[in-house]
């Protein structure tokens, strides 16, 4: 039997995700789409213990707050040793940012590097593209 068979790298629980590191900046402008992207997302597959690596895209229309980017980076890095399934990571980031920012619109996409020949793309959004258009194209100051 190969030495690697049945091995699992240790990982930590979701309690290690540091939402307390997130910070905001005030926003009072008209509706606009803000997009942040990084190819540096990583977490751990709780089934195998192997790393899941992917591209994280966060898109939102701020209401009264913007997320401060350095704090967002620290929050994202806090996933690095967390054992979490890909779909659950997308849901967790979405829920954390929704609670934290209370934006007019939020979309989180995680596109993972291939595993076993499959590319996983997980997406969660607060509204349809049509609703986003209504938010963006309302009269200034509405």
Active-site residue set: 45, 52
| CB contact at 8 A, 35 and 57 | yes
Distance CA 134, CA 139 (A): 10
Burial of 59 (0-12, 13-18, 19+ CB in 10 A): middle
| CB contact at 8 A, 11 and 51 | no
Question: Which residues are bridge partners to 44 per DSSP?
Answer: 51, 83
Token look-up 């209401």 returns 63
DSSP 107: E
């Amino acid at each position: 039997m190969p030495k690697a068979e049945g091995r699992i790298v240790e990982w930590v629980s979701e309690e290690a995700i540091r939402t307390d590191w997130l910070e905001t900046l005030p926003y009072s402008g008209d509706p606009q789409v803000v997009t942040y992207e990084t190819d540096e997302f990583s977490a751990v597959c709780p089934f195998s213990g192997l790393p899941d690596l992917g591209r994280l895209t966060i898109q939102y229309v701020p209401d009264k707050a913007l997320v401060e980017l350095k704090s967002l980076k620290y929050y994202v890095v806090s996933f690095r040793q967390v054992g979490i399934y890909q779909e659950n990571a997308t849901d967790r980031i979405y829920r954390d940012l929704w609670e934290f920012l209370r934006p007019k619109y939020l979309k989180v996409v995680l596109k993972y590097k291939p595993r076993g020949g499959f590319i996983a793309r997980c997406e969660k959004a607060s509204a349809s593209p049509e609703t986003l258009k209504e938010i963006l194209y309302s009269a200034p100051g509405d």
